[in-house]
Chain A
Amino acid sequence: MSRPRTWGRPPGEPRRVAYLYLLPAFAVYAVFLLYPIGRAVQLSLYDWDGLSLGRWVGLDNYVAIVADEGLRAAFGHALVLIVFYAAGPLVIGLGLAAILNHAKVRGLGFFRTVVFLPQVVAMVVVAVAWRRVYAPDGTLNTLLGAIGLDSLTRGWLGDYTFALPAVGVVGTWFETGLVTVLLLAGMSRIPGDLYEAARLDGAGAVREFFAVTLPSVRGEIAVALTLTVIAALRTFDLVYVTTRGGPGDSTSVPSYEVYHRAFGLSQIGSAAAIGVTLTVVIFVVSFGINRFADRRVS
């Protein structure tokens, strides 16, 4: 599409003025995000208590992440949370979205609003509500008692075995709505004749789901996994309000360790190293999920 020069330059023509439009955003971004991440990398190479002079330790803080049992455990807990935040919601969300898309259910709008609501509420509020649910005299134990399962009741968040899964279930609770809504949008774009063709071929509901529905929402699955896995890796507010990493360190997670080490134990270098590692893990995971989704589509 070439136009005569006399018409003036086309809008995309090289422009110096672009730098002026970028400048304010870039300035804030550089000062409050790019520079700090550079500083985080620098701090992570020191042993520093935040007050006295730091001591250069090279990669020791990173070595400690692999060697230190507590830190290894924190990253391990994040992996467990991925199952609750990402895998669980994906399975449940696929089921719910398939039902909502397929059956002409009344009250679809209401249902969508309800399942999405947890995403909107501040995590601190979510955590306060779930603390109540899990408390020794809380709603969950009352329910268990009412159906005669008193033997199962316990203080869920204070239990070494159950604290981490209990935190995970909260993740399932608030990510499922997001995943469902994303998948539902993808499914509603599937042309109806694909389903008719499948039915004519004699496919039942289950085969239809695997042959038609699932392959069509690959992009949405990738997006949902990216968002939920990142949320799982970044869990902080929830742990801070419900367990503070306890009992013992059974619910410690990397982002809580960043906070705890920097402001509780004054191990700034170690905290920075965990933060940098967490960032790298998030980059690698998002890149990996999207690479995978792209390859499968082509």
Chain B
Amino acid sequence: MISRGERVANYVILSVFAAFALFPIVTILSAALGPADSGGTSGLGNFTAAWQIGHFGTYLRSSLAVSSFVVVVSVVLSIMSGYAFGTMRFRGQSVLFYLFMLGIMMPSEAIAVPLYFDLRSLGLIDTFWSVALPQVALSVAFGTFWMRAYFRASSRAIVEAARIDGASTWRILWQVLVPPARPAVVTLTVLVFMWTWNEFLIPLIMVTSESLRTAPLGLAFFQGQYTSGFTLLAAGSVIVATPVVIFYLFLQRHFVRGLLQGAVRE
């Protein structure tokens, strides 16, 4: 039994913390919806103004292109490599697996500098590929680990039955194992999407032309150039944050559960 006093104290503590958690978010939302410092716009008009002045349409398009590419490619590659690690035995298996594990902890700070100079000598700097491919590499490490854990736990009997029916390994993967793996794949998709959308260092280093800037990068530049007042900057921030927040709110159950499973299994 919880005493009345304890219950009141609990609500007070939780409310104080919720206020702390929401404080900066409310700050930025109310600034974005308030009257512009320079006058002229207010409310939703700020978003239109920020959209036009800050070129956020271009940045969102480029973020969407990079994120979709990274998500699709790294999820497909991770399913394939996770399948190999999770259900098959082969020479060099554990060495290869440890090599992949290195990548989970590898900070992008360590690889970004050498990648910049090597890609520069190949003439690949300031292209879509210089932003997308390093992020595929970073995501594939976690994805392989993630899908391996799933496939290891999947039923051997079904795989064996399919084999007896003469199904190839390729068909077993896509028609037998992947359909029930949907929750695991959805979680991986959300995580990779979020990481890619929010990544800052790699686009910052790899890209100079404006058309290739991702949304967070565009926002950082907008902050540097646009110094007259906070309203439009706040509106731009909301624009950049919204896609991921919507994604999160829709899929948060999967997302949080997935995060926990992945984290605790590690």
Interface residues of A, Cβ cutoff 8 Å to B: 7-19, 21-22, 24-26, 28-29, 31-37, 39-40, 42-43, 50, 92, 95-96, 99-100, 102-103, 105, 111-118, 120-126, 128-130, 132-133, 139, 173, 176-177, 181-182, 185, 205, 219-220, 223, 226-227, 230, 233-234, 236-237, 240-241, 254-255, 258-259, 262-263, 268, 271-272, 275-276, 278-279, 282-283, 286, 290
Contact status A40-B249, CB under 8 Å: no
A–B pairs, 18, beta carbons within 8 Å = A14-B91, A15-B88, A28-B136, A33-B141, A36-B110, A36-B111, A36-B114, A37-B110, A39-B114, A113-B252, A122-B216, A130-B24, A132-B28, A133-B27, A181-B259, A262-B113, A278-B109, A282-B107
Q: What is the CA–CA distance of A28 and B28 in the complex, to the nearest angstrom? A: 39
| Interchain nearest-CB distance for A220 vs B (Å) | 7
Grouping DSSP codes into helix (H, G, I), strand (E, B) and loop, the B interface class, with mixed when no group exceeds half, is helix
Partner of A271, one of B11, B113, B164: B113
Interface residues of B, Cβ cutoff 8 Å to A: 2, 6-7, 10-11, 13-14, 17-18, 20-25, 27-28, 31, 73, 77-78, 80-81, 83-85, 87-91, 93, 96, 99-100, 102-103, 105-107, 109-118, 133-134, 136-138, 140-141, 143-144, 156, 159-160, 163-164, 169, 173, 194, 197-198, 200-201, 204-205, 215-217, 219-220, 223, 230, 233-234, 237-238, 240-241, 244-245, 248-249, 252, 256, 259-260, 263-264, 266
Q: In the assembled complex, which residues on chain B have CB atoms less than 8 Å from the CB atom of A43?
A: 113-114, 117
| Interchain nearest-CB distance for A292 vs B (Å) | 15
Contact status B96-A219, CB under 8 Å: no
Q: What is the CA–CA distance of A294 and B180 in the complex, to the nearest angstrom? A: 32
Q: What is the CA–CA distance of A275 and B102 in the complex, to the nearest angstrom? A: 15
Q: In the assembled complex, which residues on chain B have CB atoms less than 8 Å from the CB atom of A126?
A: 24
Q: Can you name 18 extra interface pairs (CB under 8 A) apart from A125-B219, A177-B21? A: A7-B160, A12-B89, A25-B81, A26-B96, A29-B137, A33-B103, A33-B106, A33-B137, A111-B18, A114-B18, A115-B17, A117-B25, A121-B198, A122-B219, A125-B216, A125-B240, A276-B110, A279-B110
| Interchain nearest-CB distance for A2 vs B (Å) | 13
Q: What is the CA–CA distance of A258 and B111 in the complex, to the nearest angstrom? A: 10
Contact status B96-A129, CB under 8 Å: no
| Interchain nearest-CB distance for B47 vs A (Å) | 14
Given contacts A122-B216, A123-B216, contact A29 B88 (CB under 8 A): no
Q: In the assembled complex, which residues on chain B have CB atoms less than 8 Å from the CB atom of A176?
A: 17, 21
Given contacts A21-B80, A32-B137, A234-B109, contact A92 B27 (CB under 8 A): no
Q: What is the CA–CA distance of A66 and B263 in the complex, to the nearest angstrom? A: 33
Partner of B118, one of A39, A272, A275: A39
Partner of B111, one of A17, A37, A122, A233: A37
Chain B residue at minimum C-beta to C-beta distance from A36: B111
Q: In the assembled complex, which residues on chain B have CB atoms less than 8 Å from the CB atom of A240?
A: 200, 204, 220
Q: What is the CA–CA distance of A241 and B85 in the complex, to the nearest angstrom? A: 40
Q: In the assembled complex, which residues on chain A have CB atoms less than 8 Å from the CB atom of B24?
A: 126, 129-130, 132-133, 173
Q: What is the CA–CA distance of A283 and B104 in the complex, to the nearest angstrom? A: 10
Q: In the assembled complex, which residues on chain B have CB atoms less than 8 Å from the CB atom of A124?
A: 200, 216-217, 219-220, 237, 240
Q: In the assembled complex, which residues on chain A have CB atoms less than 8 Å from the CB atom of B140?
A: 25, 28-29
Q: In the assembled complex, which residues on chain B have CB atoms less than 8 Å from the CB atom of A95?
A: 13
Q: In the assembled complex, which residues on chain A have CB atoms less than 8 Å from the CB atom of B160?
A: 7-8, 10-11
Contact status A262-B96, CB under 8 Å: no
| Interchain nearest-CB distance for A271 vs B (Å) | 5
Given contacts A28-B140, A31-B137, contact A259 B201 (CB under 8 A): yes
Contact status A182-B263, CB under 8 Å: yes
Q: In the assembled complex, which residues on chain B have CB atoms less than 8 Å from the CB atom of A40?
A: 110-111, 113-114
Contact status B117-A15, CB under 8 Å: no
Q: In the assembled complex, which residues on chain B have CB atoms less than 8 Å from the CB atom of A276?
A: 110
Q: In the assembled complex, which residues on chain B have CB atoms less than 8 Å from the CB atom of A262?
A: 113, 116
Partner of B7, one of A39, A103, A114, A220: A103
Contact status B164-A125, CB under 8 Å: no
Contact status A237-B216, CB under 8 Å: yes
Q: What is the CA–CA distance of A176 and B141 in the complex, to the nearest angstrom? A: 26
Q: What is the CA–CA distance of A286 and B10 in the complex, to the nearest angstrom? A: 34
Contact status B115-A36, CB under 8 Å: yes
